[in-house]
Structure formats: structure tokens, C-alpha cells
Structure 1
Amino acid sequence: MSLTAHIPSHRKPRRSASKLAVRAGVAGGVLSTLALAGTASATPSAEPVHETTLEMPVLNMDLASEVSSSVAKAAENTRAAAVDGELNALEESARTGAAAEAKKAKEDAQQKADAEQKAKEEADRKAETERASRASARASLSTKSAPASSSSEGSSAQGSGTVSAPATGSAAAIVNFARAQVGKAYVSGGTGPSSFDCSGLVQAAYRQAGISLPRMSQAQSSAGTSVSLSALQPGDILYWGSKGSAYHVAVYVGGGKFVGAQNSSTGIVERSLSYDKPTGAVRVL
């Protein structure tokens, strides 16, 4: 028997592993709690959290000025376009009004010209009638005052010293043709055979003698050689107005008379030189 057999052991009995684990867990939790509390007391309080608000961008002064300038420019362009449209409308209206005025002025001028032409023709008819009346009166007085024996065949005094001899040859052909047309109508531009104007009659008469004359009275008054009205011969061309710009021509037929296409109211007539004294005469034969 051992000496220590009766001596009780002082070692503590072993604890089970599960109990140890539980206690270790509790202790760890307590320590963790204490540690967190200490940390919390040692760390200063955090800043309060503020909400963040998004701000819209602000236009700077240069961008605002540019936008304002663009708006003003657009407004100016719009105003300019409106002004241009108004000006175009006014111009179109002015053109239309000017065209209407020009048309009316032309119509008025034509009416005035027609009225003046009508008045001139009327005045010519009256003058022709008065000349015919005076010529008839003078012829009547001459017939009553002159002896029957005073008239003779051949040469005779024709006033202003004009002496007429019987027409012969080409002159006779011209005179005979001109006298054969007496009584026919006067038509401006007429060249026969039923109607003539003054230069058309002279041209046609000279054609009978194989002589070609210009068509217009102005050129006919420059044909041939100028002769005095006191030395006329049958077949000479009489003209009224300036030589080269005459407005009327006729054929001298002798005996102090001429045959001419006077106007539309008298037609082709044979008249005395005193009825309507010509300005001058030319000789082509």
C-alpha cells in the first residue's frame, strides 16, 4: 500500500469540452461588446449626412449675348423680308398702273389724231368747195364780159405770161391720158385704172410716153429740169410745196389748166392754174 493512497488528489476535475466552448463564446461576445463600446466612446461623432441637390448649368454672359444676338438677327431678317415683300407688291402695282396709264394715253392720242385728221379733211373739203365756187364765178364773169371772137384755137394768153401750144408727140400722149381720167375717184395710194392719187396719176400718164417716174410726189418734184410757171408746156409736172418735198403734183395740160387727183371729195378734175396756183414746175420731156 502506498503512502499516498489515502491522500486525496488536489487536481480539479476536467471540464467537458462543450462547456468550455460555451464559456469561451460568451466571453468572446462580452469582450467584443466592450471593445465596440470603447471604440464608440473614443471615436468622435461622424458628420451628419446632407442630401445633394443637382444644379442646372448656368449660362455665362457670352453665351447669353450670342443667343440674344441670334434672336435679334432673326427678327431683323423677318422684318426685312416683310419690307421686301411690301416693296415688291408696290412695284408691281406701280407697273400695272403705269401700263394702264400708257394705254389710256395712247388711246387718247389716237383719238386726238383721228379728230385732227377728220377736221383737216373737213377743212380741205370746205376749201375745195370754196375754190370751185370762186372759179365758177370767175369763169361765168369771163364768159359774160369777153367777146365771143376773143377766143381762138392755138396759142392764147394764160395769165402771168404763160403761153400754151398744142401738145404733140409724147406730151400729147401724157395730156390725153390725164384728161381721160377726169371724173375717176381719188384714193390714197391708188395707181389706176379706176382710181388714183396725185402721184399715181402723174406716174401713169408718163408711162403712156414710155417714161418711168418715181412713185412719190416728193421725188417727182425733183425729176427733170425746173421751169418757170410763165413758160409752161403741156406735159410739165406741177408741184405744190418745196421742190424735193412736195405734198401734191399734177399734169399741166395747156391752156392755163392742169389735171390732178385732188382729194376724195372731188376726185380727178381739170382746173385752171388760178384755182390753186402751184409752187413750181419741172420738165421731164
Structure 2
Amino acid sequence: MSHPKHKLDRPRSTGRRALAGTAAAAGLAVAAAPALSVPAQAATKHHHAVSNAKVVKVARNQKGTPYGYGGNGPHRFDCSGLVQYVAKKAGRHLPRTSSAQYGAVKHVGRKQARAGDLVFFKSDGDVYHVGIKTGPDRMIDASRPGTDVSTHPIWHKQVGFGRL
């Protein structure tokens, strides 16, 4: 047996206007619902709050791990694999390569850079290496075959800095 269709049987949107219209049809007053606000940083995937102290701590825990081309841990790292691994442990997703990582972080100037920020090495505008700043003019990275993850001076002047 078929039932007659009523106004309330029709599919309708769940927006405020539809709800107010339905309530008005029933003779009820509806107060406007407050709009939900999302903090600007929460809506932006590039600028999640990450503890720089945690980044440095996780990075230092990788010291002594051998360099391995294409290595993304935990037993071997290349430069961007180390940064990706550390960022993930600190609660932030980063892409795999140093140039993609450069595009995924908030850029900061040398004077604003602090321990836990990323250090990007450039040549002719191309990013070719990345490490993690640990202090004034110091960084930790997986630099090249035959070496281990270690801390050393930032050896190049053409660097950019990025904040997770």
C-alpha cells in the first residue's frame, strides 16, 4: 500500500535556511545558530603548530644513523628522508624531497630562524639539500654517503629557512 507524500517526506537540504523554513512552516521561531569559526592556522595544512624543541630532540636521537641514498629511516637516511621522518615524529606530514619540503613550509628569514626550523641549501634557485637547525649557525643532517647523521656548522651562505 502506498502512503501519500507529505511535505516532510521530501528530501531537503540541512542548511540554516531550510531548517528555518521548516520550523516557520510548523509555526516555531528559530534563533540563528552561531557560525562555526575555524582558526586560520587550523584551516591551513602548511602551518600546523609543531614544537621546535621536539623536532630538535627527535633529530638528535637519529645521530649516528648511517647515510643511505633514498633512506627514510629509521635505519638509514638521506637528507630529506631524515627531515620527513623527524617531522612525522613531531606530528607534521612533509613531502619526500627537499625541494617539495621547501614548498610545504612557511619561509622565515635568517634572523627569525630558530632551533627546529629547516635549513634549505640552494644553488641557482634550486633546493638541493635540507637539514634541521639546532642552534646559532648549527644544524643536524644526513649529508652524504659514508657519513652518519650528525651536527655541524651551516657551511653555506645561500640557505633558506622554513618553519614546520
For residue 230 of structure 1, report the CA deviation from its aligned partner.
Answer: 2.2
For residue 278 of structure 1, report the CA deviation from its aligned partner.
Answer: 4.8
SS of the residue corresponding to residue 172 of structure 1 reads: helix
- Are the counterparts in 2 of residues 218 and 243 from structure 1 also a CA contact under 8 Å? no
- Are the counterparts in 2 of residues 221 and 243 from structure 1 also a CA contact under 8 Å? no
User: Which whole-Å deviations, capped at 9, do the CAs of 1:194-239 have from their partners, x for residues lacking one?
Assistant: 1100000000111122100001111011222211112211211111
For residue 244 of structure 1, report the CA deviation from its aligned partner.
Answer: 7.7
TM-score by length of 2: 0.64
Aligned to 2:39: none
Match of 2:80 among 157, 175, 199: 199
Aligned to 1:259: 140
After TM superposition, the structure 1 = structure 2 runs for residues 165-184 of structure 1, keeping only pairs within 5 Å, are 170-184=51-65
TM-score by length of 1: 0.38
- Are the counterparts in 2 of residues 219 and 244 from structure 1 also a CA contact under 8 Å? no
Gaps of 5+ in 2: 1-49
User: Which whole-Å deviations, capped at 9, do the CAs of 1:77-103 have from their partners, x for residues lacking one?
Assistant: xxxxxxxxxxxxxxxxxxxxxxxxxxx
- RMSD of aligned Cα (Å): 1.9
Among all aligned residue pairs of Structure 1 and Structure 2, give the percentage whose two residues are the same amino acid: 37
Aligned to 2:163: 283
SS of the residue corresponding to residue 219 of structure 1 reads: helix
- Are the counterparts in 1 of residues 123 and 158 from structure 2 also a CA contact under 8 Å? no
After TM superposition, the structure 1 = structure 2 runs for residues 92-111 of structure 1, keeping only pairs within 5 Å, are none
Aligned to 1:185: 66
After TM superposition, the structure 1 = structure 2 runs for residues 63-78 of structure 1, keeping only pairs within 5 Å, are none
How far apart in 2 are the matches of 1:181 and 1:237? 16
Change beyond 3 A, Cα 1:269–1:171: same
Aligned to 1:166: none
User: Which whole-Å deviations, capped at 9, do the CAs of 1:93-127 have from their partners, x for residues lacking one?
Assistant: xxxxxxxxxxxxxxxxxxxxxxxxxxxxxxxxxxx
The structure richer in strand per residue is 2
How far apart in 2 are the matches of 1:243 and 1:227? 19
After TM superposition, the structure 1 = structure 2 runs for residues 142-161 of structure 1, keeping only pairs within 5 Å, are none
Match of 1:209 among 90, 94, 97: 90
SS of the residue corresponding to residue 238 of structure 1 reads: strand
- Are the counterparts in 2 of residues 236 and 283 from structure 1 also a CA contact under 8 Å? yes
Instruction: Using CA pairs under 8 Å that are at least 6 residues apart, name the structure with larger relative contact order, 1 or 2.
Output: 2
How far apart in 1 are the matches of 2:124 and 2:83? 16
> Which letter maps to 1:248?
H
> Is the aligned partner of 1:219 residue 2:100?
yes
How far apart in 2 are the matches of 1:175 and 1:238? 13
How far apart in 1 are the matches of 2:127 and 2:68? 18
> Which letter maps to 2:131?
A
Q: Which structure has the larger Rg?
A: 1
Gaps of 5+ in 1: 1-168
- Are the counterparts in 2 of residues 222 and 244 from structure 1 also a CA contact under 8 Å? no
- Are the counterparts in 2 of residues 221 and 244 from structure 1 also a CA contact under 8 Å? no
For residue 269 of structure 1, report the CA deviation from its aligned partner.
Answer: 1.2
> Which letter maps to 2:162?
V
For residue 276 of structure 1, report the CA deviation from its aligned partner.
Answer: 3.6
How far apart in 2 are the matches of 1:243 and 1:268? 26
> Which letter maps to 2:142?
A
